[in-house]
Structure 1
Amino acid sequence: MVMGDVRTSTDVLVIGGGPGGYAAAIRAAQHGLDATLVERDAYGGTCLNYGCIPSKAMITATNVAHEARHAEEMGVHADPTIDMRELVAWKDGVVDQLTGGVEKLCKANGVNLIEGTAAFIDEEAVRIAHGGEGQGSESIEFEYAIIATGSRPIELPGFDFADDPVWSSRDALAADELPDELVVVGAGYIGMELSTTYAKAGADVTVVEALEDVLPGYPDDISRIVRNRAEELGVDFRFRESASEWLAAGDDADGDDGIELITESQDGEESTLEADRVLVAVGREPVTDGLELEQIGLETDDRGFLETDDHARTDLEHVFAVGDVAGEPMLAHKASAEGLVAAGVAAGEPAALDHQAIPAVVFTDPEIGTVGMAEADAEEAGCDPVVGEFPLRASGRALSMGETDGFVRLVADDETGFVLGGQIVAPEASELIAEVGLAVEMGATLEDLAGTVHAHPTLSEAVMEAAENAREEAIHTLNR
């Protein structure tokens, strides 16, 4: 303990105030434990401040403008313009409301909030360094610790986020001016969400991807729909190419006059792209540096993650890890679920996480929602899967929206009818996938979904129709 260091204690110490951390702290307090939450940046973490919420706000705004511009066939004629400063100000207002709400909820539930950076002293205590001159530090002893320090964007060599022309996803969501030409490096979910957003806002967008298609890990019939829609928006793709360096264009060494991006194909051929900004979206990496994990004998794996069991425990019985720092899938709702489990276990509850029913959503155009097993996963698990599918072109609601690209697909066990998973490509897939997730979680059958009367005309009817198709009882599409 350093001279003048204040030493206190708590039952549960949570490091990191993102969706996993604040959920864990609140739930621990609800269980009657003394809970302390340490956050060094902003309550709500990356999701609320720099990721999920601001990106969806910008997606919504640009969708409104795009739909208005392209509604002539409906008899709607408009030519809206986007003021980026006003858009960002509105987005910031949404963020501020939510982050302020997190702080109020923590306090209302009796969580002790501390601003600072935590580092382990030993297996029973951390030291909190407070920001600002003369703020000092304090030490906190804990019975249980929950590590929820999240993740950050991965930097490419030669593409320093400190350089003005080089954007991380956080920079792209805070820009108050629209670049005329934007190059996006990476066609994963972040790259595709932001490339389509900026294309709808009016930028000329080029996506550079080292692999052969967008959205690696998704089936071809899903990625193809998203890629085709992006191309309709004017997005240009450079597949099997990697960004190697950028050079300032003109006389300004800082790149204020634009940049030249050098790419290299897998055959070693170089190309040059002109741009105003380059957005690097090649993934995220867990944040564990500064925690001094060596003081408690914990090591990360080769990707930097902390390995955990189904109870969110690390190799130490009383130390948990939740959210992005605990590995894939790096999703905010997975972090929250793990945080609740960790808090429950600390309180002596029989809590455990069922990873099978965690949905994944991509807010592209159209949206993608998946949960549970795909057909290949079911076969690998030893099941005999049956698949039902309903195309949006047969949906009355989708036709009335002018959105007919996509489908709902259900995977079930042929013998029992139990729903094993589903994939949805459609408007509001992020909402529709919840019904399939519930079916997987509760052990519902195709008969349960097919026999549930859905309102008409709605997009959710497609889930019922896909279940009927799997049972060879489809009314509005041909049986498979």
Structure 2
Amino acid sequence: MHIAIIGSGGGAFAAAIRAAEDGARVTMIESGEVIGGTCVNVGCMPSKILIRAAQLAQYQRENPFAGLADHAPAIARPRIAAQQRERVEELRQAKYQKILDDNPSIDMIRGRARFEDANSLRVDLRDGGQEQITADRMLIATGASPMIPPIPELADTPYWTSDEAGFSDETPEHLLVIGASVVAVEQAQAFRRLGSEVTILARSTLLSREDPDLGAGLTDAFRAEGIDVREHTQASAIRYEAGRFTLETRNGPIRGDRLLIATGRAPNTRALGLEQIGVETDQRGGVKVDEHLRTSVEHIYATGDCTDLPQLVYVAAAGGTRAAVNMTGGEAELDLSAMPAVIFTEPQVATVGLDEGQARVRDIVTETRSLDLEHVPRALANFETRGFVKLVAEAGSHRLLGAQILAAEAGEMIQTAALAVHHGMTVEDLGDLLFPYLVHVEALKLCAQTFTKDVEQLSCCAG
């Protein structure tokens, strides 16, 4: 069996590896300068390096312990950027190029693919010329690119997207950020901690698609760090003169020397010729897939940020693996009912399952409890009590439906909640489990216990 895969990111490689293991011959087609997709090159990996460096700088500038002197950090942004690039190149070589080099069943063609018909692709090769590829099964895994809003005069300015901002050698004097979701808030806080003044413009509120308490709590944390959060604010026009941006808003102009556009990412599907072969897309251009990763054309599959799935690399990879199983004769489904998600601000934001609003839309009656971190021993010991844990349970049965966490280590806590949701545990089940002491994740146990107990009346390590 011959499988053609358009793209070379996390979802594409997961599919290629599994399909090759199952005996298929795989041809991958990549149009970009480098292989590996968003995550390793401009997304997850480099952004987390930047965020960690910024966090350590902030710890030097300000810490909660009386006996540790604060001091201004010495930040050499070009050296951080060089270190980012080196680590990205290492991982791209070890996790992507080496797989191609070591696996004779996987070939790579460098060029831009377009469907000629439902069974064949025309590839405009990077070195010139064309190649025709016919395959038994096809996988679309072309990822997404920064989405640029249609703000008057924006296109004529040297704005940044996250692709440029993350590797910049420069620390702006005043960074303006348009956007209020994951990339916007992560980058805004990182640049603030590296020494920039930061103003973030939110069309509504921060993290408006999440439980409102999460966005409100993060907004408070940002303002405490000196980040200027402008809620319900949009730029009606943008000018760039003499090295300065001016954003016109209904509340007057906002000025800065750098502008980051972080308003989401759009699927890379427009040039694939999907409309002529009947592959259905949503209004954003995302390929519609079912739980088997099949598109509306039976032998064509899709995964990752180019689809209507959540834009998370581990969803893309899981989808790629399952698509490969199905393309080679198996039967696998992608279950997102217990999908954890993390935003790497400080405090971190982590979610899994349903929040109260999502449960209400599904006509599920819920019981909810929220526990402030001031009741969590590890948070008290660390003098980091900003945040909370919220658990959403089905009324009556007390089956855990979801969790929303705002906490310093929320990303390390959420998988326990994901396992509880996945296995249909009740809050009583969760509250009865043994948790080590002192750990942040004990907050889940304590919050679960609040469904039946007053935690203020418990001793520190009450079982």
TM-score band, normalised by shorter chain: over 0.9
Counterpart Cα distance in 2 of 1:219 and 1:147: 32
Per-residue deviation, 1:63: 0.2
Counterparts of 1:266-277 in structure 2, within 5 Å, are: 271-277=252-258
Which residue of the partner structure matches residue 200 of structure 2?
207
Residue 28 of structure 2: SS of its match in structure 1? strand
Return the TM-score normalized by structure 2: 0.92
Which residue of the partner structure matches residue 22 of structure 1?
13
Aligned residues: 454
Per-residue deviation, 1:373: 1.0
Which residue of the partner structure matches residue 261 of structure 1?
246
1:243 paired to 2:224: no
Per-residue CA deviations over 1:67-119 (Å, capped at 9, x if unaligned) read 11102634222321211100111111221122112222344454222222211
Counterpart Cα distance in 1 of 2:256 and 2:263: 18
Which residue of the partner structure matches residue 12 of structure 1?
3
Equivalent of residue 180 in structure 2, options 187, 190, 195: 187
Counterparts of 1:7-406 in structure 2, within 5 Å, are: 11-41=2-32, 42-71=34-63, 73-77=65-69, 78-100=71-93, 101-109=95-103, 110-132=105-127, 135-157=128-150, 165-211=158-204, 213-250=205-242, 258-265=243-250, 271-406=252-387
Per-residue deviation, 1:280: 0.9
Residue 207 of structure 1: SS of its match in structure 2? strand
Per-residue deviation, 1:160: 7.9
Per-residue deviation, 1:125: 1.2
Shift of the 351–81 alpha-carbon distance from structure 1 to 2, 3 Å rule, reads same
**Matching residue's letter, 2:86:** G
Counterpart Cα distance in 2 of 1:186 and 1:17: 28
Per-residue deviation, 1:51: 1.3
Counterpart Cα distance in 2 of 1:437 and 1:81: 40
Per-residue CA deviations over 1:385-431 (Å, capped at 9, x if unaligned) read 23333321112211222211111222222433332111111112122
Per-residue CA deviations over 1:126-145 (Å, capped at 9, x if unaligned) read 1222213xx42322211111
Per-residue deviation, 1:39: 1.7
Shift of the 34–358 alpha-carbon distance from structure 1 to 2, 3 Å rule, reads same
Shift of the 49–80 alpha-carbon distance from structure 1 to 2, 3 Å rule, reads same
**Matching residue's letter, 1:142:** A
**Matching residue's letter, 1:28:** A
Return the TM-score normalized by structure 1: 0.89
**Matching residue's letter, 1:311:** H
Contact 1:15 1:37 (8 Å CA) reproduced: yes
Shift of the 313–79 alpha-carbon distance from structure 1 to 2, 3 Å rule, reads same
Shift of the 18–421 alpha-carbon distance from structure 1 to 2, 3 Å rule, reads same
Shift of the 98–476 alpha-carbon distance from structure 1 to 2, 3 Å rule, reads farther
Contact 1:161 1:167 (8 Å CA) reproduced: no
Contact 2:222 2:229 (8 Å CA) reproduced: no
For structure 1, the 5+ residue unaligned runs are: 1-9, 251-257
Per-residue deviation, 1:367: 0.7
**Matching residue's letter, 1:364:** T
**Matching residue's letter, 1:114:** I
Counterpart Cα distance in 2 of 1:377 and 1:72: 37
**Matching residue's letter, 1:431:** E
Residue 121 of structure 2: SS of its match in structure 1? strand
Counterpart Cα distance in 1 of 2:400 and 2:211: 20
Residue 217 of structure 1: SS of its match in structure 2? coil
Q: Which moved more, 1:28-37 or 1:188-197?
A: 28-37
Which residue of the partner structure matches residue 432 of structure 2?
451
Which residue of the partner structure matches residue 255 of structure 1?
none
Residue 403 of structure 2: SS of its match in structure 1? strand
Shift of the 286–152 alpha-carbon distance from structure 1 to 2, 3 Å rule, reads same
Per-residue deviation, 1:469: 1.8
**Matching residue's letter, 1:128:** V
1:441 paired to 2:401: no
Contact 1:153 1:168 (8 Å CA) reproduced: yes
Contact 1:107 1:113 (8 Å CA) reproduced: no
Residue 337 of structure 2: SS of its match in structure 1? helix
Shift of the 227–121 alpha-carbon distance from structure 1 to 2, 3 Å rule, reads same
Per-residue CA deviations over 1:285-328 (Å, capped at 9, x if unaligned) read 11112212234222422221111111111110100111111114
Percent of residue pairs bearing the same amino acid type = 35
Cα RMSD of the aligned pairs, angstroms, is 2.1
Counterpart Cα distance in 2 of 1:282 and 1:93: 28
Counterpart Cα distance in 2 of 1:383 and 1:243: 39
Counterpart Cα distance in 1 of 2:122 and 2:241: 47
